[in-house]
Amino acid sequence: MKYEKMEYKLKKALDTERYIHTKGVEKTARKMARQFGVDEEKAGLAGLLHDCAKCLSLAKMNKAVKGYPVDDLMRESKSLLHSAAGRCMAESVYGVTDRDVLEAIRWHTTGHAGMSNLEKIVYLADIIEPSRKPFPGIEELRTLCMEDLDEAMHKALLMSLDHVASQGKTLHPDTLAALNEYEPTGKLLEQYEGVNAHED
């Protein structure tokens, strides 16, 4: 499918705010890809489509992931499931066949252990794109995102952990696994055992 057609379809599938966010992620992902020598077209495409399922109901998201492996924690949460649903729809609705792009969409919400640079870029661009509502630390994170992908990931994952912990919510095990790569002592796992109620 041509890029323009994808944009046209997306515009209809998303609300205005989400579409603006999407274009911001696309642009930021391209910029970061240039900076770190990652394929810019793949980054742009993954950025454009990363939230393509975001405005669907939970039931429709679950329909979209039929036959694709997702855990129960994801199945029950729109904010988690839209990434897997988006991955499936990028393939089935938007005709994307590039696995790197599909995987970057799949992991943009939770992250996971052993992320590719393309996946890191989409994960981070989603958090720092220009239309994001400012939050404490966003400017430092924006700077890091153009300097060091792994330091930026570490900081972003810690912020996500703080956010989840402050709301008394459950951190997805894949996020914890991503974070533990940067925290080799395993201290975090112990510290947040109570938060991560679904770990076992």
Cα of first residue to Cα of last residue in the chain, in angstroms, is 42
Asked if 26 is part of the footprint of Fe ion (rule: CB under 5 A), the reply reads no
| Residue closer to Fe ion (CB basis): 93 or 188 | 93
Shortest distance (Å) from residue 32 CB to Fe ion: 15
Asked if 129 is part of the footprint of Fe ion (rule: CB under 5 A), the reply reads no
Q: Binding Fe ion by CB under 5 A: which of 91, 119, 126, 174?
A: 126
Q: Binding Fe ion by CB under 5 A: which of 26, 51, 91, 174?
A: 51
Alpha carbon distance 161, 167 (integer Å): 10
# residues contacting Fe ion (CB under 5 A): 2
Instruction: Identify which range of 43-51, 65-73, 115-123, 136-144 contacts Fe ion by CB under 5 A.
Output: 43-51
Shortest distance (Å) from residue 193 CB to Fe ion: 27
The binding site for Fe ion (CB under 5 A) comprises: 51, 126
